[in-house]
Amino acid sequence: MELAVAAPHLRPVPVDREAVSPDAADAELLARVGERDREAFEQLYHRYVRSVFGLALRRLGDRGRAEDAVQEAFAAIWRSAASYRPERGPAAGWLYAVARNAIIDRFRKAGDPVAEVPELVSAEAGPPERAEASFVSWRVHRALETLSPREREVIELAYWSGMSQSEVAAYLGIPLGTVKTRTRSALAHLADVLEELA
Amino acid sequence: MNHPDLDELIGAEVSGAERDRLRHAHELLVVSGPPPEVPPLLERGPTLAMTLGRPRGQVRRRAALLLAAAVAVGIVFVAGYASGNQSAGTSVTVVRTLSLAGSGFAKNASAVLEVQPADAAGNSPMTLVARGLPAPPTDGYYAVWLVRNGKPWGSCGEFVADGVSRTISVRLTAPYQLQKGDSWVVKLWVPGAQGFGRTVMTPVSA
């Protein structure tokens, strides 16, 4: 029988601070995390948890180990946030570097070999290409978090369900033209966010 | 899987620089692959443990006695916090975790069912975290069924999905004495349909 105890999760603690805007930029959130603002940390966490988990999964090849690595990565982000300098580059790149290092460090310290999981681009790709592919996935998955549920739905169905646009329209019960409009809008939104994260 | 064609996706209405921008986003989507399903524990939010570390650059060497005392205080604090959380229902003991995958009507759905220990009366609380469940047809709903010896044994509760929320989390109860080998499925119940409804989510083999 499996027995596991979940770690306690953060709860909002009243503090004398200005509330964090849901639209706050990543850099602003990081600055507040650097001042030990848990609300900002929680917001940043939800923006990036999928990207961090995806990165850990690609590096480690195991969901259980990846889950542990995510904990380590966010602990590292919490500890290091005050060292982020916006003038040196976008927050997404800084977060990627901290998370990636934490994921690798954790398993090196534990003496656990880091799996050489082929990246999605090509099994033949060398380390620079694999690093680039990891960062692309990181940015794309982060950007997907910014889409509205309706936009994200058409993107996920169009790219990863194997459905044609007509099938997506039938599945969602909306006109084909609406699917195309929504897809255009979603791609434009993604393009905007990806430019910001680059 | 075949990748979608940009021309089919957006038609011919967009051209020039804007089309190039959309093509770039399209190509990155193709290269990146789908985002992973995040485990329910991670979906819930950051943990207290993540924020116990001291900021880098502020770490000072302390006398060994003071460090030991700080660690002891930390352990007591965490234990107290965990205990407080448990009584508030946010920290749970899980005796069984089951992954489910959708099919048919819910073919894009996935879920994780966590079963907690039975209470004194014999009720086993459960939490189902599901992703990608479409809204059921009018007046329809989903039902989680205990499966024993390969057959539906009894309902553990019903719920609905709005088809918009990416992830939903529902609390259910198994009012049965659970046995080794018990499993669960999610059925779609639509008024007027015959029988117990269609099974739309089944366990994923380990």
Q: What crossing angle do the helices spanning A165-172 and A149-160 adopt, rounded to 10°?
A: 140
Give A123 or A130, the one with higher predicted confidence. Answer: A130
A186 and A121 together in one domain: no
Q: For residue A31, give both structure tokens.
A: 């600055």
* pLDDT of A124: 47
* pLDDT tens-digit series, residues A27-65: 999 999 998 888 899 999 999 999 999 999 888 888 888
Residue in B47, B78, B95 closest to A1 by CB: B95
* pLDDT tens-digit series, residues A163-179: 889 999 999 999 999 99
Nearest to A191 by CA among B34, B4, B27, B32: B27
Radius of gyration for chain B, computed over Cα atoms and rounded to the nearest angstrom: 24
Q: What crossing angle do the helices spanning A127-144 and A176-197 adopt, rounded to 10°?
A: 120
Alpha-carbon span A76 to A186, nearest angstrom? 32
Question: Which DSSP state fits A146?
Answer: T
Domain with A91, as residue range(s), is: 24-145
B191 and B100 together in one domain: yes
What is the domain count for chain B? 2
What lies within 8 Å, CB to CB, of A87 at 6+ separation is: none
Question: A39 CA to chain B: closest CA distance, Å?
Answer: 10
A163 and A109 together in one domain: no
On the 0-12 / 13-18 / 19+ scale of CB atoms within 10 A, B136 is buried
Residue B14 is assigned to a structural domain of this protein: no
Residue A101 is assigned to a structural domain of this protein: yes
Alpha-carbon span A165 to A156, nearest angstrom? 12
pLDDT category, B70, cuts 50, 70, 90? low
Across chain B, where does the E strand assignment appear? 93-94, 96-102, 110-115, 124-131, 141-148, 151-159, 167-174, 183-189, 198-203
Residue in A5, A149, A158 closest to B4 by CB: A158
What lies within 8 Å, CB to CB, of B19 at 6+ separation is: B10
* pLDDT tens-digit series, residues A84-113: 988 888 898 899 989 988 888 766 755 555
pLDDT category, B66, cuts 50, 70, 90? low
Domain with B128, as residue range(s), is: 96-203
Residue B74 is assigned to a structural domain of this protein: yes
Alpha-carbon span B11 to B5, nearest angstrom? 10
* pLDDT of B71: 58
Residue B66 is assigned to a structural domain of this protein: yes
Closest chain B residue to the Cα of A180, Cα to Cα: B10
Asked if B156 and B196 touch (Cβ cutoff 8 Å), the reply is no
What is the domain count for chain A? 2
**Quick check: ipTM above 0.85?**
no
What is the average pLDDT value for chain A, to the nearest integer?
81
> What is the pTM for the complete model shown?
0.54
pLDDT (average), residues A72-78: 92
CB-CB under 8 Å, A75 with B94: no
Asked if A23 and A77 touch (Cβ cutoff 8 Å), the reply is no
B47 and B100 together in one domain: no
Residue B7 is assigned to a structural domain of this protein: no
Question: A163 CA to chain B: closest CA distance, Å?
Answer: 9
Residue B132 is assigned to a structural domain of this protein: yes
